[in-house]
Amino acid sequence: MDERDLKLLRRQCRRRKNELIIKCIISLLLLIVIALVVVLVKDVLIPELSGRNKRKPQTLAEEILAARSGQNQSGQGSGLSEEDMITVADYMVSQYDYDRAIAYLTAAESYTSSQALQNAVAGYRTEKESCVAYPLDQVTHVFFHTMIKDTSKAFDGDEDEGGYNQVMTTMSEFAGIMESMYAKGYVMVSLHDMCTVNSDGTVSRGEIMLPPGKIPFVLSQDDVSYYHYMDDDGFAQKLILDENGDVKNTYVEDDGSISVGDYDMVPWIDTFVDEHPDFSYRGHKGIIALTGYEGVLGYRTDEVYRTKEASRVTKYQQKFFDAHPDFDEAAWQKEVDQARAVAEAMKADGWEFASHTWGHISPTDAGYDKVVQDTERWLNNVASIVGNTDVIIFAFGADIGDWQPYTDDNEYFTYLKGQGFNIFCNVDSSQYWVQFGDRFMRQGRRNLDGYRMYYNPDMVADLFDVSSVWDSARPTPVPEM
């Protein structure tokens, strides 16, 4: 072998060495990619449900959404693997719906031959047997008004500041309250978990079964109309459906741009329950008590926006018309359609609606004839959008009688019962107040606002520590009622 051959051999060796190095680098990169994919699948797409309170796998989104709305009653024909069916059933159990989880798995085609499915069902049955019925007369009901997003605008010294300070709660305070209640074991339940309305109009006690240590509560929010007077005062603009179909708020920024986010109770609770499904009993969330005179959910849906009847147009509505001269019947119909779509999405995700009277009236102060007229307007202008309800949450914390049970001698009760209302809520400062009658259920509510937190922090100590949630931007002293 001469020198030329040796040089050629050396070049071939170097080339093979370089090729080998390149192949090793490529193999290493492929291994890194594979490892990342494994981590993604394990930790993101199919996360372990530690304590059954983590957000669900993205690959099971449709099944989980169906679990939330109660649509998927069985795993039969679902096309999911057994592991994924158990994940869906675990989600149901995380919200204390043991019977539906058991029915979902036992109906699966592979149930009789699957030890994994049978073991899961056995575990659910054991958990269910540990649950206890919570005393219904000890269920507390807390409520809020529209949340303050920007305290610098709400507490800017104008004429509305005092009212905001008294009856509103800031978003940071609300988040702190809910997080505290969650940590203490509170779970949102529906008023309809507390009672059953029978076909003959009678009302029976319901049953709430929870694991020991869990405490049911009812959550409600008044108004949620985003009234005209609140414009530019640091409140959300309306509720919308975002590009994902989720209910969110819009907010008008100082430069006129529109932000979208969790700026009030509904979207904040939705996000929190996504992360902590065990905060919701069988998928139930809060109840929204709506007036109607300026529309609902931030949309100008009342008939006056269509008719522009001069005798009924308020100064705030006239200001709206002046700012929107092209707001005609077509624009009104668009508002109605959008509000209806948001309401349907909310109901599908566990929210309920109640009457707060159309005109935010105190029934006995207004008088019987006014109540009849007001109720007709609510049914025509609000129920036509959000659907029928059998719950009325009185404005001003009022009621249609004293603390004695309603009777047929009470003309207000007889009329409202005839219009389909079975559940009646007032405001009561005690920890809980529940009354069952043969044909109704009543419950007192607790206001968690600036006034209550400032003057009576001891009255909410079972729920949260005021000092830990108090927003330092809130002016003091809070005005007295």
pLDDT tens, residue by residue, 19-58: 444 554 555 555 555 455 444 433 433 344 433 444 444 4
Does 65 map to a domain?
yes
Domain that holds residue 288: 133-469
Same domain flag for 165 and 93: no
Question: What is the C-alpha separation between 170 and 164, in angstroms, rounded?
Answer: 10
Same domain flag for 301 and 437: yes
Question: What is the C-alpha separation between 440 and 269, in angstroms, rounded?
Answer: 29
Whole-number pLDDT of residue 8 = 37
Does 188 map to a domain?
yes
Same domain flag for 111 and 147: no
DSSP annotation of 459: G
Whole-number pLDDT of residue 201 = 95
Residues in the chain: 481
Same domain flag for 89 and 141: no
Say which CATH number the domain at 140 has: 3.20.20.370
| Sign, Cα dihedral of 172, 175, 178, 181 | negative
- Domain final residue pick, 72, 97, 130: 130
Query: What is the pTM assigned to this prediction?
Result: 0.86
Strand pairing partners for 96? none
What is the number of domains present in the chain?
2
339 φ, ψ to 5°? -65, -40
Strand pairing partners for 247? 241
Whole-number pLDDT of residue 80 = 85
Whole-number pLDDT of residue 429 = 82
Does 336 map to a domain?
yes
Dihedral-angle region of residue 360 (phi above 0 means left; psi in -120 to 50 means alpha; beta otherwise): left
* Cα 36 to Cα 58, 74, 235, 382, distances in angstroms: 17, 34, 43, 52
* Cα 422 to Cα 10, 226, 357, 366, 445, distances in angstroms: 95, 27, 15, 21, 17
**Token output for 130:** 């540990």
**What number of other Cβ atoms are within 10 A of residue 408's Cβ?**
9
The 3-state DSSP class for residue 325 equals coil
Strand pairing partners for 258? 252
Same domain flag for 114 and 69: yes
Strand pairing partners for 141? 218
Same domain flag for 65 and 150: no
Does 159 map to a domain?
yes
**What number of other Cβ atoms are within 10 A of residue 18's Cβ?**
10
SS3 of 186-220: EEECCHHHHEEECCCCCEEECCCEECCCCEEEEEE
Closest-CA residue to 449 (of 471, 468, 432): 471
Same domain flag for 58 and 174: no
> What single-letter amino acid sits at 471?
D
- Domain final residue pick, 130, 150, 168: 130
Peptide bond before residue 479 is cis, with ω within 30 degrees of 0: no
**Token output for 1:** 């072998």
Same domain flag for 322 and 221: yes
Question: What is the C-alpha separation between 175 and 163, in angstroms, rounded?
Answer: 21
Q: Cβ(164)–Cβ(451) under 8 Å?
A: no
Same domain flag for 171 and 320: yes
Q: Residues of the chain whose pLDDT is less than 70?
A: 1-78
- Domain final residue pick, 96, 111, 130: 130
Same domain flag for 294 and 403: yes
Residue with tokens 């069902």: 121
Question: What is the C-alpha separation between 151 and 142, in angstroms, rounded?
Answer: 22
Question: What is the C-alpha separation between 392 and 375, in angstroms, rounded?
Answer: 10
Question: What is the C-alpha separation between 279 and 65, in angstroms, rounded?
Answer: 17
Does 6 map to a domain?
no
Same domain flag for 334 and 389: yes
| Sign, Cα dihedral of 261, 272, 340, 147 | negative
pLDDT tens per residue, range 54-90: 444 444 556 666 666 566 655 655 678 899 999 999 9
Does 108 map to a domain?
yes
Does 155 map to a domain?
yes
Question: What is the C-alpha separation between 96 and 168, in angstroms, rounded?
Answer: 32
Same domain flag for 289 and 345: yes
Whole-number pLDDT of residue 324 = 95
Question: What is the C-alpha separation between 213 and 431, in angstroms, rounded?
Answer: 18
How are the residues of the chain apportioned to helix, strand and coil, as percentages rounded to the nearest 5?
45, 15, 35
Question: What is the C-alpha separation between 428 and 433, in angstroms, rounded?
Answer: 7
Does 58 map to a domain?
yes
